[in-house]
Structure 1
């Protein structure tokens, strides 16, 4: 596992990289939460590598401050995370995700097929990669603000899986239903709602972590990636 540097349109940024034992292999670009490329994101990449994927996680906050690594364990870190979320340029983030995707596909350890996976803010970006990129497939966990992005839904032409927390504190029952109705007619979209679960139910060690729900969602994601990137 290592960190490499990618040259983007506006400058260079760091990308955490985890490579499986057997290559070339399918690739996955992991989109961070609002805490930066922290231990949780690096562990996620390492786990994906054990499942047979080349997993990379770009530092999407580099334009604001490179190398951000926060946790969800203190109020000052939460305050900083929300500050970063407010400063973040989503369109530039998608630009960096696409740059990372293209770089990954061209690398010798990748077999040329690649998708995306994101959580929270990253879940929103995974949805937008389904509408604004040629990624082979995309998976989003409890993406924020999806109800405002349904105008792009007709651009989804590759498989997209969304994991939605029924009791998401950063969403509402009305928005969840809006997303389900807005995407329900697209055969490329699969939506799973986790009853009784709150935002970040898959963040191990987090306040709302649910082991059973996380395992179910992760198993579904791995199967989905294997089916669409195999």
Structure 2
């Protein structure tokens, strides 16, 4: 079962919308699904639906709402890709993390205090790293996170498990950045990095030409095992 809900900001002064997918029975935990630069589109909703099929309460907050509510873009349509990149440039990531924190708080209350994890993609992968460092997410996963080399100073604040999936031919994350991620994070006892040789950004998307079926399934299998271990 799926629905749209309103979540109150931490400041209590406004609300934003989130897509929620509920499992058939009692949820074993909750997972916040953090959008790409394309908004809470069909692919992100499908990620939520899959998690619900696995027994989790899944919730995807609309993080771009301060710019425009209800944005849904298709990365395979060039003008929409350009609009998405423009939105990313205007997006306040610190405010976005606070909205993710509010979503975690909502999910904990909704499940009666069960564990809450998070998974993010693209921009959401970067926000997943920030979520691991700045919130009490019980376990966090980031796919093709961008600009993590700029955030390595926050690694000491990561107290709960974090997994990052890194495509080695990511058009948005060069080899030097990947090297910095490994050098900075491989020694961290709570962080696990997985490389995907020859893969580009977006390889685990649900729809569209960016998807690589074999590596998407491998990454998602690792993610499923990670959440089963840390949210169970």
Pick the TM interval, shorter chain: over 0.9
> Could you tell me which of 58, 67, 72 is aligned with 2:70?
67
C-alpha contact (below 8 Å) 2:31/2:57 kept by paired residues: yes
Aligned twin of 1:197: 199
TM-score w.r.t. the length of structure 1 is 0.97
TM-score w.r.t. the length of structure 2 is 0.96
- Further displaced range: 57-66 or 197-206: 197-206
Q: Deviations over 1:31-82 (max 9, x none)?
A: 0000000000001000010111110000000000000011112111011101
Written as runs of structure 1 = structure 2, the 5 A alignment for 1:20-169 is 20-107=23-110, 109=111, 112-169=114-171
C-alpha contact (below 8 Å) 2:27/2:56 kept by paired residues: no
Q: Secondary structure at the match of 1:68?
A: coil
Please list every run of 5 or more consecutive structure 1 residues that lacks an aligned counterpart in the other structure.
Answer: none
> Could you tell me which of 165, 177, 180 is aligned with 1:178?
180
- Further displaced range: 190-199 or 204-213: 204-213
Q: Secondary structure at the match of 2:114?
A: strand
Distance 1:110 1:56 in 2: 15
Please list every run of 5 or more consecutive structure 2 residues that lacks an aligned counterpart in the other structure.
Answer: none
Q: Which runs of 4+ in 1 moved over 6 A?
A: none
